[in-house]
Amino acid sequence: MGLRDDVERVLISEEMLHARVAELGRVIDATYAAAAPPPLLICVLKGAFIFLADLVRHVEIPHEVDFMEISSYGSGTESSGVVRILLDLEQNIEGRHVLIVEDIVDSGRTLDYITRNLRTRGPATLRVCALLSKSSRREVEVPLDFVGFEVPDEFVVGYGLDFAEEYRQLPFIGVLKQEVYRGRS
Ligand code: PRP
């Protein structure tokens, strides 16, 4: 009932998400096993908050988290190309091993902006972990170090991803019915 009725189909189930997020945790453990100082995981709000929260519970090595809020979509379904920092990091990342944690990379514009911005701050290393990649929509080439799932060019919601600020709490990644976003984007 409710929000689930607006979902055409489940693309990535809760079980698949949990299994893949656990694997990504182990990859992060292996990647940063010898890192000093400990890596800093940067959650790109709002979409990545659920992914980060689940991910860090599978990361056993010492690490810190920080948050950045970026706006690129407004309430529509297309990237506007306008990227703004709504909330900046608390931490100075100079000399730090930084891992950007994103929910989805679509056109690549948001991530391109974030990586260019963070690079100017002098991190020791800068990597990207994206839960979802919609490669078919890429307009800007952005290297992704760790990817959870490749997704088709459909409107996906759930597990942190929204449409007009709704559907973030769905425990799976689902495809939104077209009639829901038509006329509202
Ligand atoms: C989404 C997503 C990425 C960005 C990806 O954020 O979290 O940051 O769009 O799109 P792009 O590759 O085309 O730039 P959104 O602006 O929807 O904000 P939210 O995370 O607060 O929901």
| Residue among 46, 51, 73 whose CB has most ligand 1 atoms within 8 A, to mutate | 73
Determine the pLDDT at residue 40: 98
The sign of the dihedral angle between the CA atoms of 7, 11, 15, 19 is negative
Question: Residues enclosing ligand 1, CB less than 6 A?
Answer: 44-47, 70-73, 79, 102-111, 162
Nearest CA, atom 17, ligand 1: 73
Please provide the size of the chain in residues.
185
Structural tokens at position 97: 């091993």
The sign of the dihedral angle between the CA atoms of 41, 46, 48, 51 is positive
Ligand 1 centre and the CA of 48: distance in Å?
9
Active site residue 106: yes
How open is the CA angle 88-164-14, to the nearest 5 degrees?
85
| Residue among 72, 117, 136 whose CB has most ligand 1 atoms within 8 A, to mutate | 72
Q: What is the pLDDT along the chain (185 residues), one digit of tens a residue?
A: 689 999 999 999 999 999 999 999 999 999 999 999 999 999 999 999 999 999 999 999 999 999 999 887 554 556 656 788 999 999 999 999 999 999 999 999 999 999 999 999 999 999 999 999 999 999 999 999 999 999 999 999 999 999 999 999 999 999 999 999 986 65
State which ligand 1 atom lies nearest to the alpha carbon of 109. 14
